Chains A and B, each alone.
Chain A
């Protein structure tokens, strides 16, 4: 069974950083590009970016490229999202998924507020 479990979310002050994790199981993690998508409260879905199998290629949505960094650890079957200079606009549920976007984690909430 494919399982994706995001963690690391919570309440963070504006301007601070936060690192999310996504633990994957049930499929061959190191065979897939992996990505992050977010959804602000009551809003639509926004693709953040994706990383290829050996981390040699990472694509981001342009507006987030300077704030967010995607990485992975294939030995740990884990995907990461490092977020910096957080603002209220980054308040959202963050989901991880393989690049086929057929399986999704349950999401993790990040709230940016003082």
Chain B
């Protein structure tokens, strides 16, 4: 199984900050990496698919990058509605595996 190590687990930031969240795979996942945002009591929402493709309707302040085993979600200028938990998902091979999550809170 591919292990996804997500960091940091917790992130405190201010509105307007630029933040990055990382996921490291235990082996090459060929850019088959999605990013999700989840707010309390809601289902996850896909932000980015296949490393760097922005989901329709998602603001352009969200972006993704990476290759091989290392992937990054960047939020260029935090907005109040961005405070949530973020997860990565590798879908290169079965079983699919999620990162453990990053909780982004207001400083």
Interface of A toward B, CB cutoff 8 Å: 35, 44-47, 49-50, 59-62, 95, 99-102, 104-107
Q: How far is the CB of A111 from chain B (nearest CB, A)?
A: 16
Contact present for A44 and B100 (CB under 8 Å): yes
Contact present for A47 and B43 (CB under 8 Å): no
The 9 nearest A-B residue pairs measured at CB: A104-B43, A47-B96, A61-B95, A59-B94, A45-B98, A44-B101, A102-B46, A44-B100, A45-B87
Contact present for A59 and B95 (CB under 8 Å): yes
In the bound assembly, the distance between CA atoms of A7 and B49 in angstroms comes to 28
Closest to A103 in B: B46
B89 contacts which chain A residues (CB < 8 A)?
Answer: 45, 47, 101
A35 contacts which chain B residues (CB < 8 A)?
Answer: 96
A100 contacts which chain B residues (CB < 8 A)?
Answer: 49
A101 contacts which chain B residues (CB < 8 A)?
Answer: 34, 36, 44, 46, 89, 91
Q: Does B1 contact A (CB under 8 A)?
A: yes
Contact present for B43 and A105 (CB under 8 Å): yes
B94 contacts which chain A residues (CB < 8 A)?
Answer: 50, 59
In the bound assembly, the distance between CA atoms of A49 and B94 in angstroms comes to 9
In the bound assembly, the distance between CA atoms of A104 and B55 in angstroms comes to 14
Closest to A99 in B: B91
Interface string of B91-107 (1 = CB under 8 A from A): 10011111111000000
Q: How far is the CB of B42 from chain A (nearest CB, A)?
A: 8
In the bound assembly, the distance between CA atoms of A106 and B38 in angstroms comes to 12
Near A by CB (< 8 A), chain B positions 42-85 give: 43-46, 49, 55
